[in-house]
Amino acid sequence: MIKENRIKNNYTQEQLSEILGMSTRQLQRIEKNESETRIKTLKKIIDVLKIPDKEIIEYIHKM
């Protein structure tokens, strides 16, 4: 979900990680669901990428 929205918003991993104040490697881990992510970080990603609530809920239900 995050990777798709990042691409839709025309951000590279490097650009988005800089905006979020994290390393590119950490963003890669988040996109691949390889690491536990704090809610604060997820909220920041959702805000920057303007991910709709409906899409977030659908993603959670698929988990």
Total tally of structural domains belonging to the chain: 1
DSSP labels for 1-51?
-HHHHHHHTT--HHHHHHHHTS-HHHHHHHHTT-S---HHHHHHHHHHHT-
pLDDT value at residue 36: 85
User: In this structure, are residues 20 and 44 in contact, taking their beta carbons and an 8 Å threshold?
Assistant: yes
Residue 57 belongs to domain spanning: 2-62
CATH number of domain containing 48 = 1.10.260.40
Instruction: Render pLDDT for 14-48 as a digit per residue (tens, 0 to 9).
Output: 999 999 999 999 999 999 989 888 999 999 999 99
pLDDT value at residue 18: 98
Select the more confidently predicted residue: 46 or 62. 46
